[in-house]
Amino acid sequence: MTDRSVVPVNFFEGGYLNRLSWLRSSHVFLNAIVVSPSTRWVLFKEGKPLVASNAPPLSDPIQSPDPDAPKGSRTRYLARLPTSEVRSLLGSEPFFSQGKVEGTLAESDDPVLEAARIRGPPIVFLGLHQDTTSEQALPSSDFSAKSDALAVAARIQGTAFFSLDVSDIPDDVLEVTLQETGLGKSGAKLAFTDARLAMGTYDYFDAAVVASARGLVDWNARNKFCPACGSPVYSLWAGWKLSCSSLLPWADNMGRKPCPSGRGIQNFAHPRTDAVVIVVVVNEANDKILLGRNRKWPGMFYSAMAGFIEPGESLEDAVKRELWEEAAVKVWAGSFVAQPFPANLMVGFYAIADPAIPTRTDLDNELADARWYTRDEILAVLAHPDGTKIGSRDPTKPLPKPDSSAAGALAGDDASKSNGTSDPDTPPQGPPFRLPPLSAIAGVLVSDWAFGKVVIGESRQLKKGNL
């Protein structure tokens, strides 16, 4: 029976994989686990994960930890391919700790060669899914260079997950490979689908895997050159570090100054997570909330206001500054919840402000409107069948046309229904305005407040000092 304590508060979170971060440097472990029959691959193309639809019901034992989720009946899900089905896309062995010459293992324990991947498409080791009853840390000594890798891999209980970025693999090669997979032969439709458009496709497990994988895939794809000297970079630690190629033992650095990133092991480049504060402002009586409408958002879509945290700011500092800069609102007190999304950590806040003080929309050129709504107004929209359906589910993008693309078709029944062919700005008997869905942290913030599930606590930091 599923333990309710493992059901995450928000979508796109939940540590279902044991990330085994101490084994990312072990090529013995990685090269053994990568060819294990139980290993599964999540594919990405230009940041979009591979999704299977009209697929055979997921027989994989890994299911949503949500006890209310239907078991084994999903026919649309994140595709998880065994190594044998993607082997032709992975490049030459060894996959990790590649030497100077293709096909050779780096014969060195130099830190700049730890699980180095110099050739082949970008791969990230995401972690191991283990049965919750046997969740144990694996002993790192088992994976020393002298150990019998295959014997070690055979002892591993669970399913290892890797991501593979196929963006640079020719479409025709990719298409043939996918057709030959078990899913392809079953007649399932396999399509690379925007992570946010496919939200309705995922269960909590899929969403958590996509969130961390997409962040890593995106980071590896965007960082091609050393920030210190401009040399190309290569992958270390199974996709979790990047290093300057001028540091490779065989690099020809004649006539060049040593790269500053080589001074001290701490200078390898690590994936980054940008923190964002997202704020629902309430009045002191706790019967109204302030929401904003971005100029780029479709229709009458209102949501919590948000902004990136800047260097030198605490979360609370950023909440105060964002509301002040965006809408001239001074806030105090608050409480928060957090949700990761690729490369961002969305930290949701409740803050208190005075509705008697007029808001402004002339400060931030992205804010079209900001207004206070009563609890009854919010509850009415939440109760409306189209109240939280924003079509594309991505409020920053225009609404997709129905059937115009695989992405549109995969966006979910609700999306195609609510789009129709009518103008999304004036749907017949539509809600007076729209709110974010529960799969977005803003939707959780608004809904929890509307249904009286939150106590707006007092934060010492927010009370401290005034703007």
Which residues form the interface with Zn ion (CB under 5 A)? 226, 228-229, 231, 244, 259, 261
Whose tokens are 């729209």? That residue is 434
* DSSP-derived 3-state class of residue 359: coil
Q: Which is nearer to Zn ion, 220 or 231 (CB)?
A: 231
CB of 265 to Zn ion, least distance (A): 14
Q: Which is nearer to Zn ion, 114 or 194 (CB)?
A: 114
Q: Is 254 exposed, middle or buried (0-12, 13-18, 19+ CB in 10 A)?
A: exposed
Cα 24 from chain centre: 20
**Distant-in-sequence, close-in-space partners of 405: CB < 8 Å, separation ≥ 6:** none
CB of 57 to Zn ion, least distance (A): 49
Q: Which is nearer to Zn ion, 103 or 260 (CB)?
A: 260
Q: Which is nearer to Zn ion, 243 or 418 (CB)?
A: 243
Q: Which is nearer to Zn ion, 67 or 230 (CB)?
A: 230
The full DSSP string for 51-79 is EEESPPP---S---S-TTSPSS--SSEE-
The tokens describing 214, both together, are: 């997409």
User: If we measure between CA atoms, which residue out of 389, 373, 379, 390 comes closest to residue 297?
Assistant: 390
Whose tokens are 């100077």? That residue is 100
* DSSP-derived 3-state class of residue 123: strand
CB of 244 to Zn ion, least distance (A): 3
CB of 261 to Zn ion, least distance (A): 5
CB of 219 to Zn ion, least distance (A): 17
Q: Which is nearer to Zn ion, 97 or 231 (CB)?
A: 231
CB of 414 to Zn ion, least distance (A): 48
Q: Do 263 and 274 touch, CB atoms closer than 8 A? A: no
CB of 114 to Zn ion, least distance (A): 17
127: left (phi over 0), alpha (psi -120 to 50) or beta: left
Q: Which is nearer to Zn ion, 51 or 112 (CB)?
A: 112
The tokens describing 65, both together, are: 């930890």
What CA–CA distance (Å, rounded) separates 434 from 420?
Answer: 16
Helix locations, 120-180, DSSP H = 149-155, 171-179
Q: Which is nearer to Zn ion, 110 or 175 (CB)?
A: 110
CB of 257 to Zn ion, least distance (A): 10
* DSSP-derived 3-state class of residue 191: strand
Q: Do 347 and 315 touch, CB atoms closer than 8 A? A: yes
